[in-house]
Amino acid sequence: MTTVAVVGTGVIGASWTRLFLANGLDVVATDPAPGAEERLRSALEDPDRLRFVADPGEAASVADFVQENGPEREDVKHALFAVLDEAARPDVVLASSSSGLLPSAIARGCPRHPERVVVGHPFNPPHLIPLVEVVPGRDTAPGVVDRAVAFYTSIGKRPIRLAREVPGHVANRLQAALWQEAYSLVERGIATVADIDTAIANGPGLRWAVLGPFVNQHLSGGAGGLAHVLAHLGPPTEEWWRDLGRVHLTPELADTLVAGVDAELAATDDRSLAAARDAVLHQLLAAKAAQPDLP
Ligand SMILES: NC(=O)c1ccc[n+]([C@@H]2O[C@H](COP(=O)([O-])OP(=O)(O)OC[C@H]3O[C@@H](n4cnc5c(N)ncnc54)[C@H](O)[C@@H]3O)[C@@H](O)[C@H]2O)c1
């Protein structure tokens, strides 16, 4: 594997490009937006091994792996995958970064080789966050999932493989479940936006960054582990589930949430905040890598 085609170089495509180049791969990138090449080059530390071409077919034709990052619209992905499928060697995996579209729907744009289409969903920013969700569609060949997982692993990612496709994959569904209850608590006037952010970022979020929800729960059961927690706290948890909210994103609720974030961030600016988040993420990832006992 030496050359990756990056199709679409917005937020996610640019970040994938940084990661691929940092791993010694050559990148052929494409994006139809005016000024896209200059924007991408200015975001890179080593733009020399980047080639930018106008035609996505040309990018796919020279690639050993294709990572697509165009707009999250099924019609756009269809048209794009038709071009990629036509141009890429039949053995080349076509992976879409799509946050929630089903790979079977994306592969409908590929009459020639739908079996080489997968979703390879990163978390923003892909050059920092290790997770990639590899999702097969109805027609995806098992070997294609294996190859995508092997490729992502070879560049330091932590891929998980889903048994089958589902809207939003796994991690975004888990986030959506949390957002639903967070929005509901604000809507019911039980906590402010800032209080909920404080609760997660200074409470369970700290543990979730180290261990997943199941192992964290297991460790809170003492010697009895998860079995004890489920027996002891399972029944009250079922009570809480019955009280959880189901929100609709009305314009009024959206305004309340946005006003809440504005109030929370009144004394800072987004750029400094993102830089601080990324600095802490770097340290956290290094600290985790130094702990051999972490799964
Ligand atoms: N932003 C996120 O947090 C995030 C996280 C994971 C996955 N994703 C997914 O990644 C993909 C890209 O999202 P983004 O946030 O980078 O969006 P973005 O708007 O920043 O970038 C999309 C890019 O696609 C380009 N584009 C438009 N038509 C194209 C075409 N025909 N061929 C190639 N490129 C084309 C646009 O010019 C733009 O640069 C989406 O599928 C999205 O669901 C986004």
**pLDDT higher than 90, residue 117:** yes
Domains and CATH numbers, the chain: 3-161 (3.40.50.720), 171-289 (1.10.1040.10)
Q: Which ligand 1 atom sits nearest the alpha carbon of residue 100?
A: 43
Which residue, judged by its Cα, is nearest atom 11 of ligand 1?
A: 69
CA 89 to chain centre: 27
3-state secondary structure of 164: coil
* Residue range 198-245, pLDDT digits in tens: 999 999 999 999 999 999 999 999 999 999 999 999 999 999 999 999
Say how far residue 97 (Cα) sits from the centre of its chain. Answer: 8
122 ligand 1 Cβ < 6 A: yes
C-beta atoms surrounding 114 within 10 Å: 21
Mean pLDDT on 115-131: 96
**Closest Cα to atom 20, ligand 1: which residue?**
10
- Measure the CA–CA gap between 82 and 80, rounded to whole angstroms: 5
As a whole number, mean pLDDT of residues 14-18 equals 97
Distance 270 CA to ligand 1 centre (A): 21
Question: Can you give the pTM of this predicted structure?
Answer: 0.94
% the chain with pLDDT above 70:
100
Closest by Cα among 287, 187, 192 to 247: 187
Nearest to 148 by CA among 166, 136, 163: 136
**Whether the CB of 9 sits within 6 Å of ligand 1:** yes
Using an 8 Å Cβ cutoff, are 117 and 154 in contact? Answer: no
Residue 192 has pLDDT above 90, yes or no: yes
pLDDT digits (tens, 9 = 90+) for 19-54: 999 999 999 999 999 999 999 999 998 888 999 999
Answer yes or no: is pLDDT of 109 > 90: no
* CA-to-CA separations, 59 to 6, 26, 89, 120, in angstroms, rounded: 8, 11, 11, 18
Q: Exposed/middle/buried for 174, CB within 10 Å: 0-12, 13-18, 19+?
A: middle
CA torsion 78→81→82→88, rounded to 10°?
180
φ/ψ of residue 126, rounded to 5: -60, -25
Report the pLDDT value the prediction gives residue 15, as an integer from 0 to 100. 96
pLDDT of residue 111: 87
Nearest partner of 193 among 179, 203, 206, judged by Cα = 179
Residue ranges of E strands in 97-203: 117-122, 131-136, 158-161
pLDDT at res. 127: 94
- Helix (DSSP H) and strand (DSSP E) numbers for the chain: 13, 8
Beta carbon of 32 within 6 Å of any ligand 1 atom: yes
pLDDT in tens, 140-174: 999 999 999 999 999 999 999 999 999 999 999 99
pLDDT tens digits along 45-91: 888 899 999 999 999 999 999 999 999 999 999 999 999 999 999 99
| Residue owning tokens 């999702």 | 135
Q: Which of 109-113, 230-234, 257-261 has the least mean pLDDT?
A: 109-113
- C-alpha distances (whole Å) from 80 to each of 67, 84, 93 are 12, 6, 15
- End-to-end distance of the chain based on CA atoms, in angstroms? 28
Report the mean per-residue pLDDT for the chain: 96
Query: 131-136 and 117-122: which strand pairing?
Result: antiparallel
* pLDDT tens-digit series, residues 166-183: 999 999 999 999 999 999
- DSSP label at 173? H
**Ligand 1 touching residue 125 (CB < 6 A):** no
> CB neighbours of 129 closer than 8 A, spacing ≥ 6?
122, 123, 281
Residue nearest to atom 15 of ligand 1 (CA): 11
| CA 102 to the chain's CA centroid | 14
Distance of CA 162 to the CA centre of its chain: 14
Cβ distance 144 to 136 under 8 Å? yes
